[in-house]
Each structure stands twice: as structure tokens, then as C-alpha cells.
Structure 1
């Protein structure tokens, strides 16, 4: 079962031969003697099976000298074959980055409160308790967007495509003169927003803009849902701008005072 040949598992390379061998669970060393390989088959081989057996022996033929070796585990993560946690972490991290577009920098590298970073992480996972996610937990609801009630309240709708949220996005895009197309998912939005902000002086502050939009929308949504209170669109925009200003001032320890200065510093 172990991978001791560079071509792969013998069980996968020769599944038909594997069913013919009598002792399938013995180690490779048990099938080797001074005279060579000693595989015992369950039955006499048919003519059409002989070619596959020949290919099998040609594959394992060069691997000799096993009589003087002890069966040991060899880890492929480093040249010495010894497992180390740091090597395993680096190997898994590199493999994950090659196959995934997980926007970890946009989540954990932003200069925002930790609880907000955790909130964004849940957004990317689409695990925020919007009404559709509550219904998946068998909570009976009539799922609708709490802002306009035009469609089902999903994570991507509430934080990307809702008419209230769209106005906040357009507010900052117009202020900075950016032409941008809204992606369909949160993950794509974080990546696209990062790319759109490469032209600005402070990419870190530009990154905070999207987070401030999401946080204000979530707070406003909860106020309407739990407290039956709602703010006007102008008030929602002002809250978003003030939150951005507050985070930039507090977390960057700058001397910026006015909101205009914050927007100019992006």
C-alpha cells in the first residue's frame, strides 16, 4: 500500500495483478529473497495475463538489494526523509497557494479590529448568519432582503449586490475615480479590490474601505432586523465614512483629523 516506487502505488499501477497475488498485505521485503522476487499467485496465469505480469516485473525489477535494508518510513517533505512540523507547514502552505485563491492578506493583514477580521473571514466562507444560512439550520423564516425585500437575503446579495450596498461601493469609487465591475462573490471582490487599489498611495487604507462597507451594512441590517430601527441612506453613507476615518486615525496613529484628509491619503 505504501508508495515506495517513483511511478506510484503498485496497487494503482497494476490493479489486475494485485488481485492475483496471494499475500497482498505483506511488505515488499517479504516478497524478496536472494534469488529475486518471489510473488505467489492465486492461480495459474492465463496467456493474456502474462504480458501484464511481465510489465509488473519490469517495473519492480531494478529495485534489488532489499535483503540488506530495514523497512523504514521516508517522508518526502525534505531530503533527509525526516518529518518536521515546520517543513510540513511550508509544504502544505505552498501547495495550498498553488491551488487556491484564498485572499488571506485581505482578511488578516488589514489594519482593522480582530473581531472585524473574523467577521470578514466568515464572509469569505459565506458563513455569516444571513437569513438563507439560518434557513439551512432549519430555522423557519421568510427569507428576504431587509433593505428592499426584493430578493432572498444571501451573503453575496447583502454585501455586494443590494441597492443600499451598491450605493456605498459607488460612493468610494466615484470619490477616487475608479472604474470597477462588481464580482459575484466575496472572495473575488477582495482580490479585485486589491488590484484596483494598486494605483493609490496607501493600499492598506484602500483595503479598509471594503471592510468598512461590510461592517456598516451588517450593523444596519441587524438594527433593522432586531431593533426595528433604520437609518436613511445619507446616514448610512455618513456612518461608513466616519468608520473609515476612525479606523485610519486609530489604527495607523496618524495626525489626520478631517475625513477629507483621510480620503486624500488613500
Structure 2
């Protein structure tokens, strides 16, 4: 929401300049670097021009705390209808909720988004799974023959059936608001959706930066089931069931029968 007018080019690093590092970056640092480059890409430095910050939602009065609060709570027309309330969950780590907020606003540094910003070349836009399709968020989470198959396997585990919409926000709403499902079950399904999206993105990054591959059944057994159990136990002291029971019937462990 803030645009900086600066007094050269930063994101593109023109004139033969480049960033250099004293050591090789970790995978998560490379991801942060790409996000940083995307944020800085359209910033141009103009000599002999005073720098200043401009609050775009109100250029006349400028930034105010109340104005920022109204913007966050009311939202603009382009974001109306997005299920922002579903990205926040008391048993889900904050970083995962922030990630989900990026997902539904299409702000992830996917190859398609980075190509639009000029961060990666146009010939490096295909999905890391090798399926041959452009890597957009919608493709990665819902259409990719490799990654998107996780949703059906998760449904088989928790014992629910359903059809996956091809729009991420619709998918989130439909997955968490199945007909006849009460509030407690919706909360669990919300946690599972957020976890699945987080795991899929993490696997994408592992394949891209670490050349490490986990097949989808491994993601379900070794990551989804373990992390969901860990998140729930962390906030529920009386949760006594172990992995074997959780693997077979998570709803019974939660006291929720179908």
C-alpha cells in the first residue's frame, strides 16, 4: 500500500551490478531473496530527486492508523468476497496463516508471478513437477497431476468425499464447509486445508531449491498426519491419542464421529 519514490534501478540491478553473498544461501533464504527482488523490481532511482513515501489509499491526507485499520477491515472492491477469515486458525502457526493469506490473494512467488515481474526468464515458467504446465498458484494447488492429488488422498484419510473446484478460494470454502458438518469439524477441516496448502508449497520449494522429492503418499503419511497431530496436541493438553489411532481415525481422536 505504500509506494516509494526514490532518487538507476534496484530490482533489475542494471549497469552490470549484481548481489553477492559471502556464503551459499539456504533454500528458504533464496525464496526470500526472490520475494525481495519482486518487491523492488519496479523501483527506479532518479538522481537529484528527493525521496518520499506516498500512502496510495489516501494521497491527500496521507497515512493514518485509522485509515490503515479501515482498509484492512473493510477491504477494497477487488478483494470483496475473498474468505480471509478462513486463513486464521488458533491452532495453526501464524506463518502458515500469513502464507494462506498470500495464496488467496495470488501473492505467492510462483514462477508465473515472478516472470510477470521480470524476476525469472519466460523460458523458466513451467511447473517444477515436470507436468509441462505453467506454474500458477491455481495450477500448483488444484490442477497439477502430481501435487493436486494430495487433496483426494487427504479426503480418503479423513473419510469425506467431494469435488475440487478449480478456483482456490472456492476450494477453501467448499473443503471447510461441507454439508451437514458442524462447527468443530469445520475447524478441523480448516486446519487440514491450511496444512495441505503449506505442505504442497514446501514440497514445491524442496524440489526447486534442494532437488529433493517426496511423493504425495509420503507427504500425507510423514508430514500431514504428523504435523496435524502436533499442532492439535500443542494447543490441547488433554489430547492423549498417539499416532496409530490418529492415522486410522482422526475424528474419533477428536471426539467427532461422522
TM-score range, shorter chain: 0.5 to 0.7
* 8 A Cα contact 2:128 2:208, kept in partner: yes
Q: Distance in 2 between matches of 1:187 and 1:106?
A: 10
Q: CA deviation at 1:95?
A: 9.0
Change (3 A) 1:100 1:240: same
Match of residue 262 from structure 1: 250
Q: Distance in 2 between matches of 1:91 and 1:152?
A: 33
* 8 A Cα contact 2:155 2:161, kept in partner: yes
Match of residue 129 from structure 2: 147
Length, aligned pairs only: 181
Match of residue 72 from structure 1: none
* 8 A Cα contact 1:145 1:152, kept in partner: yes
Q: CA deviation at 1:162?
A: 1.6
Aligned counterpart for 2:142 among listed residues 160, 171, 174: 160
Aligned counterpart for 2:165 among listed residues 179, 183, 191: 183
Which structure has the bigger radius of gyration? 1
* 8 A Cα contact 1:173 1:179, kept in partner: yes
Q: Distance in 2 between matches of 1:202 and 1:174?
A: 16
Change (3 A) 1:95 1:137: closer
Change (3 A) 1:224 1:94: closer
Segments of structure 2 that go 5 or more residues without pairing to the other structure are 1-64
Secondary structure (helix, strand or coil) at the match of 1:202 reads helix
* 8 A Cα contact 1:107 1:120, kept in partner: yes
* 8 A Cα contact 2:206 2:213, kept in partner: yes
Q: CA deviation at 1:124?
A: 0.5
Match of residue 234 from structure 2: 250
Higher RCO (CA < 8 A, seq sep 6+):
2
Aligned positions of 1:82-97 closer than 5 A: none
* 8 A Cα contact 2:176 2:187, kept in partner: no
Secondary structure (helix, strand or coil) at the match of 1:164 reads coil
Cα deviation, 1:194-248, whole Å, max 9, x if unaligned, reads 2117515532111111111111111111111001111233322222221222212
Deviation >4 Å, runs of 4+: 88-97
Instruction: Name the TM-score, length of structure 2 as normaliser.
Output: 0.61
The answer to which of 244-253 and 210-219 deviates more is: 244-253
Cα RMSD of the aligned pairs, angstroms, is: 3.0
